[in-house]
C-alpha cells in the first residue's frame, strides 16, 4: 500500500465551479472525521464538502460521502482514486463552490475524481513496506567490521548497541531472510547469531514502474 507524502490543498476550476481538494495523512477514523469536520467548518458556505478515506494496513476501512451531490457522483469517484492508487491512511475532502453551470452526473464524476487525482500528483506518494526487524549479536572483535559491512549493503541498519556483545538491529524483507543468514555466516565465520524481533513499516519512494 501507499500513502501521500504530505497533506495539503489543491484547487481546480471546471466550468466556473471551484473544486478544492484537501488531503491529510491520518491514523484512524477519529482523525479522519476530525479533519472532515474541520474542513466543513472552514468551508461552511460551500455548496458541498464531499469526502472519502481509506484506512488500515490493507486499506480495509473505506468510507465516502456525496454530501448532497447526486448519489455516486462525488464520494465514490474520490474513493476510487484512492483505491486505484493503493493509498491508505489518507482522507480527502473536496469542497465545491458552484459556478452556475451544471455538470451532469458524468461531469461530476470526472470533476471529483480529477480533483483528487490532481491533488495526489501535487502531494506525491510513498510506498509502505513491511520489514522484519532482526537483532544480530556478535562479539566485540567482530562488531566494527560487521556493522560496516551491513551498512554498506542494501539492508536497513536501525541501530547499534554495545552491551555484553555488540547488538545490531537490522530491517529486511521477509523473503531475504534465508540469504541474510547465509551472508551473516560468511561475514563472521559462523560466529554471529540473529533473532527476529518483529516487524516494522517503512516508507520509501515508489517503484517508477508501479
Tens digits of per-residue pLDDT, 49-60? 999 999 998 899
State the pTM of this model.
0.78
Helices (H), the chain: 29-42, 75-84, 104-123, 140-152, 177-188
pLDDT at 48: 97
- pLDDT cut 90: percent of the chain above it: 71
pLDDT at 151: 84
Domain-by-domain residue ranges, the chain? 2-123, 128-204
Asked whether this chain's domains 2-123 and 128-204 adopt the same fold, the reply is no
Which fold is adopted by the domain 2-123? Ribosomal Protein S5; domain 2 (3.30.230)
* Cβ–Cβ under 8 Å, residues 54 and 82: yes
| Distance between CA atoms of residues 9 and 70, nearest Å | 24
* Cβ–Cβ under 8 Å, residues 51 and 114: no
Tell whether the model's pLDDT for residue 141 goes beyond 50. Answer: yes
Using pLDDT thresholds of 50, 70 and 90, give the confidence band for residue 208. low
Higher-confidence residue: 28 or 204?
Answer: 28
Higher-confidence residue: 157 or 92?
Answer: 92
pLDDT at 210: 46
The residue behind cell 493509498 is 87
- Smallest CA-to-CA distance from 48 within 22, 73, 69 is with 69
**Summary mean pLDDT of the chain:** 92
The model's pLDDT over 49-91, given as tens digits with 9 standing for 90+, comes to 999 999 998 899 999 999 999 999 999 999 999 999 999 999 9
Give the DSSP letter of residue 19: E
pLDDT at 57: 85
The model's pLDDT over 31-42, given as tens digits with 9 standing for 90+, comes to 999 999 999 999
The model's pLDDT over 154-196, given as tens digits with 9 standing for 90+, comes to 788 899 998 888 999 999 989 999 999 998 998 888 889 999 9
Across residues 139-151, what is the average pLDDT?
86
Using pLDDT thresholds of 50, 70 and 90, give the confidence band for residue 10. very high
| Range 128-204: architecture per CATH | 2-Layer Sandwich (3.30)
- Smallest CA-to-CA distance from 31 within 60, 4, 66, 55 is with 55
Amino acid at each position: 500500500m501507499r500513502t501521500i507524502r504530505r497533506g495539503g490543498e489543491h484547487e481546480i476550476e471546471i466550468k466556473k465551479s471551484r473544486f478544492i481538494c484537501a488531503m491529510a495523512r491520518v491514523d484512524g477514523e477519529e482523525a479522519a472525521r476530525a479533519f472532515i469536520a474541520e474542513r466543513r467548518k472552514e468551508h461552511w458556505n460551500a455548496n458541498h464538502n464531499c469526502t472519502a478515506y481509506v484506512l488500515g494496513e490493507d486499506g480495509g476501512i473505506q468510507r465516502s460521502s456525496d454530501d448532497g451531490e447526486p448519489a455516486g457522483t462525488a464520494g465514490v469517484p474520490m474513493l476510487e482514486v484512492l483505491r486505484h492508487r493503493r493509498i491508505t491512511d489518507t482522507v480527502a475532502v473536496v469542497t465545491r463552490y458552484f459556478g452556475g453551470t451544471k455538470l451532469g452526473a458524468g461531469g461530476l464524476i470526472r470533476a471529483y475524481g480529477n480533483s483528487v487525482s490532481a491533488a495526489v500528483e501535487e502531494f506525491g506518494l510513498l510506498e509502505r513496506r513491511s520489514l522484519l526487524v532482526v537483532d544480530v549479536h556478535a562479539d566485540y572483535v567482530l562488531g566494527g567490521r560487521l556493522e560496516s559491512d551491513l551498512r554498506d549493503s542494501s539492508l536497513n541498519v536501525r541501530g547499534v548497541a554495545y552491551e555484553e556483545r555488540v547488538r545490531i538491529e537490522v530491517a529486511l524483507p521477509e523473503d531475504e531472510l534465508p540469504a541474510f543468514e547465509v551472508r551473516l555466516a560468511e561475514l563472521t565465520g559462523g560466529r554471529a547469531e540473529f533473532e527476529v524481533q518483529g516487524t516494522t513499516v517503512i516508507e520509501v519512494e515508489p517503484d517508477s514502474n508501479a
